């Protein structure tokens, strides 16, 4: 679809450039690094993957959706991407958007914003060798947004924990028990 005035822009909410390079191998569209999680603050993204459709004029045609919009990460999911791809083709060629595109996404709470700032500070302190200061702000972030994966799960590898370990599954269970509080559309097949 690259010839149709269409482009994928992938943003890694991540600071591990080596891991991202592996995921981005053979990908020809821009893959950007966002170690400070600027995007999660600007777009109220609370988990990945999150896909946003943006038109030629910079208007959001379909807000945050929990979709696998590219081949990135598809090996981890086993999820079919064909329905989403069909919808994207319809949008690119005919400007048609699915019904869920009119969904209103809830704004971040003050706590969720503050959690992002504490995370950014923690990651900065860690990069500068201040593990104690980093731990203090990772903890503050988790207190403020305990079910936000861009806060709690993203912190795991930065604190020497596995993002696929016991703690992740504990938080995932709490997230599901809370009704999957994702800031965005969860397509019916994924709900």
List the interface residues with another protein, window 33-52 (CB under 8 A): 33-34, 36, 38-45, 48-52
Site for another protein in 134-163 (CB under 8 A): 137, 153-154, 156-157, 163
User: What H or E segment, with its residue span, contains residue 76?
Assistant: helix 74-77
Question: Are the beta carbons of 71 and 77 closer than 8 angstroms?
Answer: no
Question: Are the beta carbons of 23 and 73 closer than 8 angstroms?
Answer: yes
Residue 110 CB, nearest distance to another protein (Å)? 7
Residue 129's alpha-carbon distances to 17, 19, 120, 156, in angstroms, are 18, 21, 14, 17
Q: Where are the alpha helices (DSSP H) in 109-165?
A: 110-127, 131-144, 149-158
Question: Binding string to another protein for residues 61 to 90, with x set by CB under 8 A, is what?
Answer: x-x-----xx-xx--------------x--
User: Which residues, at least 6 apart from 138, have a Cβ–Cβ distance to it below 8 Å?
Assistant: 118, 119, 122, 155, 158, 159
Instruction: Return the residue of 79, 81, 83, 92 that touches another protein, per CB under 8 A.
Output: 92
Q: Would you count residue 172 as binding another protein (CB under 8 A)?
A: no
Residue 186 CB, nearest distance to another protein (Å)? 15
Task: Select from 70, 60, 69 the least CA-distant residue to 105.
Answer: 60
Residue 169 CB, nearest distance to another protein (Å)? 14
Instruction: Return the residue of 28, 94, 104, 189 that touches another protein, per CB under 8 A.
Output: 104
Question: Which residue's CB is nearer to another protein, number 38 or number 173?
Answer: 38
Instruction: Return the residue of 13, 145, 147, 185 that touches another protein, per CB under 8 A.
Output: 13
Q: Would you count residue 185 as binding another protein (CB under 8 A)?
A: no
| Axis crossing angle, helix 131-144 with helix 110-127, rounded to the nearest 10 | 160
Q: Would you count residue 23 as binding another protein (CB under 8 A)?
A: yes
Residue 82 CB, nearest distance to another protein (Å)? 15
Q: Would you count residue 100 as binding another protein (CB under 8 A)?
A: no
Would you state the structure tokens that stand for residue 84, as one six-digit string? 């989403």
Widest Cα–Cα separation across the chain: 54
């Amino acid at each position: 679809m690259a010839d149709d005035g269409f482009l994928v822009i992938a943003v890694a909410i991540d600071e591990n450039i080596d891991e991202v390079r592996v995921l981005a191998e053979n990908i020809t569209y821009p893959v950007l690094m966002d170690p400070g999680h600027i995007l999660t603050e600007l777009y109220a993204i609370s988990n990945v993957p999150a896909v946003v459709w943006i038109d030629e004029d910079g208007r959001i045609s379909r807000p945050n959706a929990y979709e696998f919009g590219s081949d990135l990460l598809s090996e981890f999911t086993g999820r079919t991407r064909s329905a989403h791809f069909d919808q994207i083709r319809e949008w690119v060629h005919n400007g048609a958007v699915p019904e869920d595109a009119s969904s209103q996404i809830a704004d971040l709470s003050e706590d969720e914003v503050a959690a992002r700032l504490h995370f950014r500070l923690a990651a900065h302190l860690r990069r500068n060798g201040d593990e104690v200061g980093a731990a203090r702000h990772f903890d503050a972030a988790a207190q403020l947004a305990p079910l936000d994966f861009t806060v709690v799960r993203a912190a795991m590898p930065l604190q020497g924990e596995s993002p696929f370990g016991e703690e992740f599954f504990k938080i995932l269970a709490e997230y599901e028990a809370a009704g999957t509080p994702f800031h965005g559309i969860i397509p019916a097949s994924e709900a």
